[in-house]
Amino acid sequence: MRNNSDFLFASESVSEGHPDKVADRISDAVLDTYLAADPEARVACETLVTTNQIILAGEVRGPESITKELLIEKARETVKEIGYDQEGFSWRNASALNLLHAQSAHIAMGVDSGEGKDEGAGDQGIMFGYATTETDSLMPAPIYYAHKILQNLNDLRKSSDPKGKGFLPDAKSQVTLQYVNGKPVKATSIVLSTQHEEAMKQSDIRDTLRELITNTLPEGWMCPEDEFYVNPTGLFIIGGPDGDCGLTGRKIIVDTYGGAAPHGGGAFSGKDPTKVDRSAAYACRYLAKNIVAAGLADSCTLQISYAIGVSHPLSVYVDLHNSGKDINEEKLEKVLREVMDLSPRGIRKHLRLNRPIYRETAAYGHFGRTPDLKKDNFTWEQADLVDTLRNAFNR
């Protein structure tokens, strides 16, 4: 986003019950099942969900103990956790079809390590990372608050609070913020559509959501009442996969930076960490966040590129958006290669990615999350390179 200027910027998020996010979470549940049994398993799982239908497809390589029936059971468990037990989509009786098959031997030949050859990238591609001082999480403010609103709504829906009664899993938010001199100062409009039971009154929904959003945003940031849009179509009763087909990987901007930074194009969910679409994007966020957390810049965009079957990155590019604190970007690019092994294997080891930690990533963004030390998850959000980077620049 532009520095030191006045503008409006919007980002959207979707809940864990949005059909595309149902598909993402099922795909990551499949991935976690394989990694729990074999940390070196290969998974590229795509999921389609529609009216009482769940279809798994893609390529896998893992232990024979992971049966088709087990994965269908995991898919149903995921749908149950999200909260779908509706006539048009229920964990109990949705038809489930598993079309997963063995990974291509040619891809395996290029990716696997061998005599005189390190493990190669699972595909070609460009990956981006971003960080900014706009929020404590070092995420852009519009996507941060769009996620936070839906997280709080989801917590309310699943709580014993009577205000949450009647809300259903599918929801979308959109937050537009006003920037003054490049800094966010308030919301100018907010859109929130949420699935609900038929008996709920729209006025009651609006009142509950106004309170929730006001408590989520910083004090004084709530938008004007005539720019607060709740269920703009009037009703939102039929939702989830019954209302709209869901597919893995269709919410890549929601998953990353809400449009505030570039995206390489590859989706994350359902892919094991040999796929640099996922692991290198995590590494890019990790490095960008540590650069900003170290005080070397107020914002940072990082790009890394790979070729399939090649272990080393083809390029590393850093843009500090004229916010660097007397930092030479070319030197920083060299330093990043020194402080972290950016080969697929090096990224996986550094961030400890060969573990069943991915189901939680499928909704409310892969970035800006708070690591749980007990679970050792969201390791790419840790700021443990700060001292190393400061020392490299004598800070």
Q: Residues comprising the binding site for Mg(2+)?
A: 20
Largest CA distance in the chain: 67
List residues forming the annotated binding site for ATP. Answer: 18, 170-172, 244, 250-251, 267, 271
DSSP-assigned letters across all residues of 81-132: HHT-EETTEETTT-EEEEEEEEPPHHHHHHHS-BTTBPPPBSS-EEEEEEEE
Identify the CA nearest to 364 among candidates 271, 269, 286, 244. 269
List residues forming the annotated binding site for K(+). Answer: 46
Strand stretches in the chain, DSSP E: 7-14, 42-50, 53-61, 85-86, 89-90, 95-102, 125-132, 167-180, 183-196, 228-230, 246-247, 299-306, 315-319
Bridge pairing between strands 85-86 and 89-90? antiparallel
List residues forming the annotated binding site for L-methionine. Answer: 59, 103, 244, 275
Q: Are 237 and 198 in contact (CB under 8 A)?
A: yes
Bridge pairing between strands 167-180 and 7-14? antiparallel
Question: CA–CA separation, 368 vs 361, rounded Å?
Answer: 11
Exposure string for 41-63, b = 16+ CB within 10 A, e = fewer? bbbbbbbbbbbbebbbbbbbbbe
List residues forming the annotated binding site. Answer: 18, 20, 46, 59, 103, 170-172, 244, 250-251, 267, 271, 275
